[in-house]
Homo-oligomer: A and B are copies of this chain.
């Protein structure tokens, strides 16, 4: 790893790091869980609280266009997804948005009750499907989850929608959206992609891949702040044929007409429900400015270089011999994180955090290293490998202070 300095010096994305307020003396490798604070988001929140809420008060719904913020923020996300305008809106959480879209999918495929997913999908995706099935009853909705390698066989004529997460939260493996979408469509099945670990770090082409619907997260690689609102993508071709059940007043054609009967807004705006949290959404909206002029292919190239450098480094360190790299080696199969399995994963994660390398633990035995090409440097990778090797060589992860497993996110 002698050429680290050269890699950083030649990194065309290196200047973007200055747009974030990263804590001193830390290597932050958990942007796949919570992106760091962009300076633009800090300033925007201050303006929204002090000037807009504090001084302009209720008038801000119009004068600062709070009312337009969900659509405006959706349109800022759209280019990162390869989506033409009019198909993305920012609102609610991934969980709630999944419910809206799953109901829509069942509506588009009458007579097909199955929502098909992957057993190790992120749990909330599975839970929301289970909630839908419990509400509608088994004649109208069946939640089916199978291992990843059984997905193709499970795509039968009972399946309305295939709901998958592109990047697996645990092992960082990556689905081929285009190929799977095509296979699903050949069987008359709609696709609903969860882009939680994709948006903002992978080049996406939802329109040209003919994706039907998608959700994604505002607080991971979009750096929108803790619990930032999520987003919905619904392809234009479906928009006039569906309604969604969480039809609150913000999704009404004329919210301020206060009519007793619901009339959906045109297009994807009908997927809005209640009043949006303005402060949090404004933070996300400002955070998205970081992507201005960023080439997603360049971002992806750096992401792959970072994760590859890390995997190579780990494999080269004798002290890391007991770490099993769970993440696929093939570029086209890997998201923007590397997951290591180790019997003492908990202790390793705690020791790394104490040493200033912020990673996270996922039960039962995984340490996740998230690499964010917007702000992580090659030096960050080298430091992570060095600290990991040092900890393992010194058996630091076995120290009693790391043995008690307390709650960790």
- A contact set with B: CB distance below 8 Å: 21, 23, 28, 30, 33-34, 36-37, 41-42, 45-46, 48-50, 52-62, 66-67, 92-96, 99, 103, 119-120, 122-124, 126-128, 130-132, 134-136, 145, 170, 219, 225-230, 243-250, 252, 255-262, 273-281, 283, 353, 358, 360, 362-363, 406-409
Contacts and interface: CB of A to CB of B under 8 A. Distances in A.
B95 A134 contact: no
A246 B96 contact: yes
Nearest to A132: B245
A366 B264 CA distance: 25
Contact of A57 (B36, B229, B258): B36
A45 B279 contact: yes
B99 A245 contact: yes
B408 A60 contact: no
Contacts of A34: 53, 57-58, 61
B276 A128 contact: no
Q: Which of A59, A262, A406 has the most CB of B within 10 A?
A: A262
Nearest to A121: B260
Contacts of A66: 226-227
Given A54-B36, A226-B60, A358-B58, A279 B275 contact: no
Given A34-B58, A61-B409, A95 B249 contact: yes
Q: Which 10 A-B pairs rank lowest in CB-CB distance, beginning with the nearest?
A: A93-B274, A95-B248, A95-B274, A226-B278, A124-B249, A61-B409, A277-B280, A37-B54, A131-B247, A135-B245
A46 B279 CA distance: 12
Contacts of A28: 57
Given A23-B57, A126-B262, 16 more contacts: A23-B56, A36-B54, A42-B50, A45-B45, A48-B226, A67-B407, A123-B260, A128-B246, A128-B247, A128-B248, A131-B243, A131-B244, A227-B277, A227-B281, A277-B279, A277-B280
B277 A228 contact: yes
Contacts of A275: 93-95, 219, 227
